[in-house]
């Protein structure tokens, strides 16, 4: 569908009152938004690689979104969620909303934090602790970056005993290869991923990671995290290394969940009770992981399964809460309709 037609349709949903009706019906729900990067529009230069910015929202759009949710929702901090579940908060006929960020990019500190402060909204930041203060790449992003930037016309990889070919001659082929390879790897064990990554590096020596755009790829420093923490922002774990929990053995899961929690608590001097699953789809975590989270004292965990959290059901789903991912390709009218639940992205 053409973009202008989509926008007009989405506008119709807002101005016809349908979104308002949905919000009224969801007044006992908690809507959780997921962001990754926030960057000013004029710093997003690399137009031909817009695909790499799919999880980046411009600072201008982010501010409009926060303004909107401030008016039509009740922004909440995770520390207040227990009161909502217990029915101890006075209701004002609007749904609750939680703003979350995955991974821990420095652009969150530079461009999202000032907006959150301006509107008095608490942000929740899930950190991949080994990466803080670095410009290393998360493995999923390295796979994507190498494929998008290599001059090679095809890549061949053996994964779990099977040989795969990935044509990478055109931008469309690269995007397809990136999605396909990451989809395959996300279901493998950690040693297989490490081996494929080594092989991919060998096959793409022309890709220079030193050329990384800092605005997009640099992670927050602990000093920046402490400053945000002092202003009331809340930090949770997103593992130490961003391997998906289904890539790991039970021992590895227990280790990464305990270690990331310990580091965050040591650096911020605040308890770390919250977790977001890397990738966060239903195949990326299981009962086993829920038990480990519980044992370690985590109180809530967030998936990337789209949906709305009905307050009465949160205690039953406290380790599998729904979230709505906000991406680069969302105009404001579509944003309004997606978070009202009248539009499926």
CB of 84 to Zn ion, least distance (A): 26
- Mind giving me the DSSP string for 144-192? HHHHHH---SEEEEEETTEEEEEE-SSHHHHHHHHHHHHHHHTTS-HHH
Tell me the two tokens of residue 165.
């070919």
Q: Coil, strand or helix: which one is 334?
A: helix
- What is the rounded CA–CA span in Å between residue 168 and residue 150? 8
Q: Which is nearer to Zn ion, 103 or 175 (CB)?
A: 103
Q: Which is nearer to Zn ion, 75 or 278 (CB)?
A: 278
CB of 132 to Zn ion, least distance (A): 14
Q: Of the ranges 103-111, 228-236, 295-303, 333-341, which one interacts with Zn ion (CB under 5 A)? A: 103-111
Q: Of the ranges 14-22, 56-64, 98-106, 313-321, which one interacts with Zn ion (CB under 5 A)? A: 98-106
Q: Where are the beta strands (DSSP E) in 185-266?
A: 234-237
- What is the rounded CA–CA span in Å between residue 139 and residue 141? 5
Q: Which is nearer to Zn ion, 102 or 142 (CB)?
A: 102
Q: Of the ranges 87-95, 100-108, 186-194, 223-231, which one interacts with Zn ion (CB under 5 A)? A: 100-108
Q: Which is nearer to Zn ion, 185 or 311 (CB)?
A: 185
Q: Phi/psi of residue 224, each to 5°?
A: -65, -40
CB of 304 to Zn ion, least distance (A): 9
- What is the rounded CA–CA span in Å between residue 37 and residue 59? 9
Q: Which is nearer to Zn ion, 236 or 278 (CB)?
A: 278
Q: Of the ranges 94-102, 112-120, 146-154, 261-269, which one interacts with Zn ion (CB under 5 A)? A: 94-102
Residues from 259 through 278 that contact Zn ion (CB under 5 A):
278
CB of 309 to Zn ion, least distance (A): 20
Q: Which is nearer to Zn ion, 103 or 267 (CB)?
A: 103
DSSP class of residue 206 equals T
Q: Of the ranges 40-48, 71-79, 102-110, 302-310, which one interacts with Zn ion (CB under 5 A)? A: 102-110
Q: Which is nearer to Zn ion, 168 or 237 (CB)?
A: 237
Residue number closest to Zn ion, CB atom: 102
- What is the rounded CA–CA span in Å between residue 259 and residue 273? 13
**Contacts of 131 by beta carbon, 8 Å cutoff, 6+ apart:** 103, 104, 138, 219, 242
Tell which one of 14, 52, 63, 102 touches Zn ion (CB under 5 A): 102
- What is the rounded CA–CA span in Å between residue 114 and residue 150? 36
Tell me the two tokens of residue 53.
């910015």
- Mind giving me the DSSP string for 278-332? SS--GGG--HHHHHHHHHTT--EEE------EEGGGGGGGTTSB--EE--TT--H
Using CB under 5 A, count the residues that bind Zn ion. 3
**CA distances in angstroms from 326 to 61, 169, 207, 256, 334, listed in the order given:** 11, 30, 29, 27, 10
- What is the rounded CA–CA span in Å between residue 235 and residue 270? 9
Q: Which is nearer to Zn ion, 26 or 124 (CB)?
A: 124
CB of 189 to Zn ion, least distance (A): 19
CB of 278 to Zn ion, least distance (A): 5
CB of 80 to Zn ion, least distance (A): 25
CB of 188 to Zn ion, least distance (A): 17
Q: Which is nearer to Zn ion, 73 or 109 (CB)?
A: 109
Q: Of the ranges 39-47, 96-104, 117-125, 249-257, which one interacts with Zn ion (CB under 5 A)? A: 96-104
Tell which one of 103, 141, 175, 289 touches Zn ion (CB under 5 A): 103
CB of 237 to Zn ion, least distance (A): 11
Q: Which residues bind Zn ion (CB under 5 A)?
A: 102-103, 278
């Amino acid at each position: 569908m053409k973009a202008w037609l989509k926008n007009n349709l989405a506008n119709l949903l807002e101005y016809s009152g349908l979104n308002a009706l949905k919000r009224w019906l969801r007044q006992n729900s908690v809507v959780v938004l997921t962001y990754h990067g926030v960057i000013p529009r004029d710093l997003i230069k690399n137009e031909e690689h817009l695909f790499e910015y799919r999880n980046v929202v411009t600072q201008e759009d982010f501010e409009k979104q926060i303004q909107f949710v401030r008016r039509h929702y009740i922004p909440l901090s995770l520390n207040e969620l227990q009161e909502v579940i217990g029915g101890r908060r006075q209701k004002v006929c609007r749904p609750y909303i939680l703003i979350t960020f995955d991974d821990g990019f420095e652009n969150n500190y530079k461009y999202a934090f000032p907006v959150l402060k301006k509107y008095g909204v608490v942000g929740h930041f899930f950190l991949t602790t080994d990466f803080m203060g670095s410009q290393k790449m998360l493995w999923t992003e390295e796979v994507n970056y190498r494929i998008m930037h290599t001059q090679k016309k095809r890549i061949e990889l053996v994964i779990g005993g099977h040989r795969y070919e990935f044509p990478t001659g055109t931008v469309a082929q690269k995007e397809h290869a990136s999605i396909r390879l990451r989809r395959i790897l996300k279901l493998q064990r950690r040693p297989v991923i490490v081996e494929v990554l080594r092989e991919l590096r060998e096959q793409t020596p022309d890709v220079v990671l030193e050329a990384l755009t800092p605005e997009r790829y640099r992670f927050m420093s602990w000093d920046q995290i402490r400053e945000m923490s002092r202003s009331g922002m809340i930090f949770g774990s997103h593992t130490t290394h961003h391997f998906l929990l289904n890539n790991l053995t039970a021992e590895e899961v227990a280790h990464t969940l305990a270690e990331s929690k310990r580091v965050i608590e040591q650096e911020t001097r605040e308890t770390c009770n919250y977790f977001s699953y890397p990738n966060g789809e239903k195949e990326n975590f299981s009962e086993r992981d829920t038990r480990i989270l519980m044992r370690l004292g985590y109180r809530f965990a967030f998936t990337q399964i789209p949906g709305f959290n009905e307050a009465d059901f949160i205690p039953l789903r406290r380790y599998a809460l729904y979230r709505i991912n906000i991406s680069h390709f969302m105009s404001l009218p579509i944003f309004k309709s997606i978070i009202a639940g009248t539009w499926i992205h």
